[in-house]
Amino acid sequence: MKEVILVKYGEMALKGLNKKTFEDMLTKNIKRRIKGLGHFVCTSAQSTLYIDPQDDDIDLSEVVDRVGKIFGIAALCRAGVCEKDFGDITEKSVEYLSDILSCARTFKVNAKRSDKAFPMKSPEICRELGGILLDKFPNLSVDVNNPEVIVTVEVRDTNAYIHAENIKGAGGLPVGSSGKAMLLLSGGIDSPVAGWMMAKRGVHIAAIHYVSPPYTSDRAQLKVEQLCEKLTDWCGGIAFYCVPFTELQEAIKDHCPEEFFTIIMRRLMMEIAQRIAAKDGCLALITGESVGQVASQTMAAIACTDAVCRIPVFRPCVGMDKTEIIEIARKIDTFDISTLPYEDCCTVFTPRHPKVRPQLSDIEKAQNSFDFEPLIQKAVENTELKTFNYEG
């Protein structure tokens, strides 16, 4: 039996005049994501997007799996396609839904008739189809308040559709609809989660990572690239910038007081990130910081870091506990990669007693005692770019 996937828009259904732009963006993201699985025709009508597979051998559960990770979708389902004829609708419902209906105890029928020319009204469709299903499946009884299975019949423009399983979508807004931002991506647990959270709000992510060879190994960089690859499932294509940071870190160590190492390092990271962000059209930076998590994430330390930033810095994990961040990391499947052993440049030259309440004036004075500008420029020039795209 012919099946399609119906996709229901999320929040963007509320966007009024911009709705068309959001819809187009979502359609483009979906097409890109499932391209490798076969040929599809995607059309939208009445706040629903139809994914119509054109080949017989397409793995629809893989399609559902992939589309389930695309932001901008409230719900999706596989649906059987029927003629706009009640006889065909009943016959196909019995056949198509037989597995799910023969194991359930209670059900109800829900009908949506957007084609008002269809001769039966919604309550009549529910009543008639409900009666037939009760006859065919003696295990079933009707429960309108809390049914195990809701059989939905949608009578639309060209066809009717039947389905019984609504799958929750990833929510949020289509990636790209909110512009682009630069994620400072370490190999830790928090920053991939931060990137995912902003992508959920429609932000297209680019990523920047700082390496300090020989203090950090190739393996550490590979790990971050693996994280990028994993994030593409949700975030789409990611431009990954890898910045050589060793000389800057050595300069900090040679010229600044030890207690300020980390804060100055973070200020230099932000400086480089916003220069590359400007070149790449990114309007903001994103980090995985959370207030109070470590010495460089106290409010005073964050204030010192922010003082060098000329564009907004989004910290979506800022008010979250580590356990809450881990919960998301597991859900998006980055946790196991993030917990592989590695060295981060942040752990190179870590001060024994970092200042938890640094004064901006002290930090600025310390940083101004050395001219970092040539090294910043050199690091930006020698930054390497790799691009990650949806796999498959």
Residues 130-159 that bind ligand ATP (CB under 6 A): none
Nearer to ligand ATP, 29 or 305 (CB): 305
**222, interface contact from ligand ATP, Mg ion, none, CB < 5-8 Å by kind:** none
Please spell the DSSP secondary structure of 141-185, one letter per residue.
EE-SSS-SEEEEEEE-SS-EEEE--PEEEEESB-TTTT-EEEEE-
Compute the least distance from the CB of residue 283 to ligand ATP, in Å.
17
Which one, 271 or 344, has the nearer CB to Mg ion?
A: 344
What tokens does 334 get?
A: 């980055």
Residue 252 contacts residue 342 (beta carbons within 8 Å): no
Partner interacting with residue 184 (select from ligand ATP, Mg ion, none; CB below 5-8 Å by kind)? ligand ATP
Q: Which is nearer to ligand ATP, 294 or 307 (CB)?
A: 294
214, with CB counted inside 10 A (0-12, 13-18, 19+), is: exposed
Is the bond into 214 cis (omega within 30 degrees of 0)? Answer: yes
Among all chains, which residue has been given the structure tokens 């010495």? 295
Judged by CB under 5 A, which of 188, 195, 202, 358 binds Mg ion? Answer: 188
Nearer to ligand ATP, 153 or 194 (CB): 194
The position carrying tokens 């109070």 is 292
- Residue type at position 211: V
Site for ligand ATP in 59-118 (CB under 6 A): none
Residue (26 or 189) nearer to ligand ATP, CB:
189
Q: Which of 182, 329, 337, 345 binds ligand ATP (CB under 6 A)?
A: 345
**Distance from CA of residue 174 to its chain's centroid?**
9
Select from Mg ion, ligand ATP, none the partner in contact with residue 293, using the beta carbon and a kind-dependent cut-off of 5 to 8 Å: ligand ATP
**Residues between 296 and 335 that touch ligand ATP (CB under 6 A):** 296
| Residue facing ligand ATP at closest CB distance | 188
197 binds ligand ATP (CB under 6 A): no
Tokens 């709000």 found at: 201
Pick 72 or 188: Cβ nearer ligand ATP? 188
Residues 335-374 that bind Mg ion (CB under 5 A): none
Please provide the distance, in angstroms rounded to a whole number, between the alpha carbons at the two ends of the chain: 27
Spell out the alpha helix ranges (H) of 182-321: 190-200, 218-235, 246-255, 261-279, 299-306
SS3 content of the chain, % helix, strand, coil (to 5): 45, 20, 35
Residue type, 68: G
The pair of structure tokens assigned to 132 is 């037939």
User: Is the Cβ–Cβ distance between 189 and 326 less than 8 Å?
Assistant: yes
Residue from 10, 130, 147, 188 touching ligand ATP (CB under 6 A): that is 188
Given a contact cutoff of 8 angstroms between Cβ atoms, the answer to whether 126 and 111 are in contact is yes
Among the candidate windows 53-61, 70-78, 90-98, 293-301, which touches ligand ATP by CB under 6 A? 293-301
Enumerate binding residues for ligand ATP (CB under 6 A): 184-186, 188-191, 208-210, 287-289, 293-294, 296, 344-346
Binding site for Mg ion (CB under 5 A): 186, 188
